[in-house]
Amino acid sequence: MAKKETKKDAKAKTKKADNGEQTQQAPANMPLFYKNPVPLDAKAHADLGLKKNFGFNFTEGVNAVPVNLIEMPQVCHFYPIAFSPDGNATPVAILGLRDNENLFLQPDNTWEANTYIPAYIRRYPFIFSEIPEGEQLTLCMDMDNSITEKKGDQKFFNDDGSASDLSTNALEFCKSYHAAAQQTLEFSKALAASDILVDREAQINVADNKRINFSGFKIIDEQKLASLDDKVFLEWRQQGWLPFLYAHLFSGAQWQRLTYLLNTRLDKEAA
């Protein structure tokens, strides 16, 4: 598991210091949810494994997560899809209407029943670490005592040092996620450059005649989309992006679902 790999054939790898001890340089900016991603290594993590059913508590306090292009047709049936206002036009699923609140996280640490879970959440605690301007990817694990354990049933490595089914499946999932993320990046860049995104504020009516103003996101302006240059529209159609544009537009109906979930929670808080 220590051989060098390319983006097309990524595997877990460990960096060693001059004294032979394994080291990991923490990224300057950690991705959402991740605190201490460390490359999986057969020697360093021989007895380590993932706790069973550690749940979704790591999503507490988060009201939006990134989504990839290919999952938007599924996401749109459960969450409003918006775009980040930072110029990158990253598509995100809205999870809550109040700051630091995830309406889909249940008190027993499970997810809202019969609801699609975005891939970004399902990938956790695994992630690829990418060397800037390089071709090498490393399978990492967010080392957190609340989700890892020694000599458990879900070990990262077999007794012979080979990757366990858990690690192998995580590697394949991260490969697929990485490829989808690259496709999404291309889509987002084109969307940001098209000038069809507009700032939007959602006004949500909740219990006791109160109103919540939810802002800080962008959506596609339907009139601007209808007026899009024919050449650009044709290019997007050839890229296969049109279904994802419509998935975003259809997802607007899910603001009502968030309102229902919030009102249900407010009723329980008032009881």
Specify if 1 maps to a domain: no
Specify if 217 maps to a domain: yes
Specify if 85 maps to a domain: yes
CA pair distance 186, 66, nearest whole angstrom = 15
Specify if 29 maps to a domain: yes
Please count the structural domains in the chain.
1
CA pair distance 158, 41, nearest whole angstrom = 12
Q: Considering the entire predicted model, what is its pTM?
A: 0.85
CA distances, 32 to each of 58, 61, 116, 124, 241 (Å):
10, 11, 19, 10, 26
Specify if 4 maps to a domain: no
Parent domain of 27: 15-270
Exposure of 120 in the CB half-sphere (CA atoms within 13 A) = 22
229-261 pLDDT, tens digit per residue, is: 999 999 999 999 999 999 999 999 999 999 999
Specify if 120 maps to a domain: yes
Specify if 194 maps to a domain: yes
Specify if 21 maps to a domain: yes
187-223 pLDDT, tens digit per residue, is: 999 999 999 999 998 888 887 778 888 889 999 999 9
Residue whose structure tokens are 């802002």: 215
